Structure 1
Amino acid sequence: MDDEIRRLVLFDGPDRIAKGSEAVVSAAFQTALSASPQAALRVFDLQTGRAVDLDLRPAPPPRRGRPRLGVAAREVTLLPRHWDWLAAQPGGASAALRRLVEQARKTGVDDDARRRRTDAAYGFMVEMAGDAPGFEEASRALFSGDRDRLAALITPWPSDIQAQILELFDGE
């Protein structure tokens, strides 16, 4: 995961009880669980909208030795003409691919961000309101980017769930 700190949100049933870093949400999770062992606690990653499991074990001691650099070798399948073109680029295939990826990241930033926000809001909606009245229509409004219609359609749902969906939609 990038250099960003993973941000999470904790729900007890339909109620949002904590939001923040993994450490903040883990502490709130343990407090809520101690107060009510039967609580219906669910944790969601705010980047993806997907449910996540918390690792509540104590953090392991720091590892000794050289830190990982984050470089990973992976396989890329291209046609021979693509490899020929890459080989002819300054710096070779790897440098050319890095430049192409960086250029694509810069030019598609708005569309990518909008798609990620929509996917996150939908992932959360499915988990927390998949059987709620009007879910299908709300999903259509979400994917069409119609925030006002989405907000109107989810009005009957619990207020914290509504708020979380709209925050994910808005990228907050």
Structure 2
Amino acid sequence: MQASSLPIGYTAFVDRACFAKGSLQHVVTLAKNTLGDSQLANVLIFNDGTGKPVDVDFRGSTAAVLDRLRGESKEGHTSDTAEKENEQPPRKVGRPKLGVVSGEVTLLPRQWEWLKAQPGGASVTLRKLIDEARRVGESESQVRAAQEATYHFMTAMAGDFDRYEEALRALYAGNETLFYEWIDDWTPDIRDYVKSLASSAFKQEEH
């Protein structure tokens, strides 16, 4: 299953303690049904994928709160769908081409000679090079996304913690050992959530 198809999880905190995890509906329902108004005012819910806080209006009944969430979700989905449809180029009439697509590639003579000398020939070598470049690019994108998610949560919940700035610098410098050292004595629930967000924030050495 691809990561993009996985359901988005959410984590709720009351003050500095982790209160609930799960779908947004589950977390909101649990908070609404078990917490008093003063505690609800201190609830912060974070998107596990982006590390960003989610704005939830807890006024009214549980059903009313969930109805507002569904309405906001539907509006956002409709807007995203409309944008994607507008971006799509017009379809060409006729049967779609399947499999290999030919195209023009311009290279210097020495580059053609090198390609032709590779096992499988130029086409096979080019496909391998492209696949490898895509793999590296996707890995780097995953690292950047994890760094940004970790940054968003740390800024919201740990901005006044000791060695917060040092931890951020280690995060973006890719220094995994130092990063975990700086956050080791943070409030346990916040530290553990930071670790979960940062699990893909450092490039793994290939052996």
TM-score normalised per structure 2? 0.58
Q: CA deviation at 1:107?
A: 4.8
**Higher CA-based Rg:** 2
Aligned pairs (5 A) from 1:55-66: 56-58=65-67, 59=70
CA contact (8 A) 2:13 2:43 kept: yes
Q: After superposition, give the CA deviation of every residue in 1:12-61 in whole Å (9 maximum; x if it has no partner).
A: 011011112112212222134xx33212110011111111113623246x
What is the Cα deviation at residue 4 of structure 1?
Answer: 4.1
- Determine the structure 2 residue equivalent to 1:164: 193
2:170 matched residue in structure 1: 141
Which amino acid is the alignment partner of residue 154 of structure 2?
M
Aligned counterpart, 2:56: 54
Q: Secondary structure at the match of 2:85?
A: coil
- What is the alpha-carbon root mean square deviation over aligned residues? 3.0
Distance 1:53 1:38 in 2: 17
The offset of 1:166, in angstroms, is: 0.6
Report how far residue 158 of structure 1 moved: 0.7
Identical columns (%)? 26
- Higher helix content, 1 or 2: 2
User: Which amino acid counterpart does residue 139 of structure 1 have in structure 2?
Assistant: L
- Residue among 42, 52, 58 paired with 2:44: 42
Q: What's the CA shift for 1:132?
A: 1.3
Matches of residues 22-37 of structure 1 in structure 2 within 5 Å?
A: 22-32=24-34, 35-37=35-37
Q: TM-score, normalised by structure 1?
A: 0.68
For 1:71, which of 47, 69, 84 is the aligned residue?
Answer: 84
| Cα displacement string for residues 85-124 of structure 1 (whole angstroms, at most 9, x for unaligned residues) | xxxx97xxxxxxxxxxxx8865511100011011101110
1:122 alignment partner in structure 2 = 151
The letter for the 2-side match of 1:54 is V
3-state DSSP class of the match of 2:37? coil
Matched residue of 1:121: which SS? Answer: helix
Aligned length: 139
1:73 CA drift (Å): 2.1
CA spacing shift, 1:14–1:137, aligned 2, 3 Å: same
Is 1:9 matched with 2:23? no
Give the stretch that moved more between structures: 147-156 or 41-50: 147-156
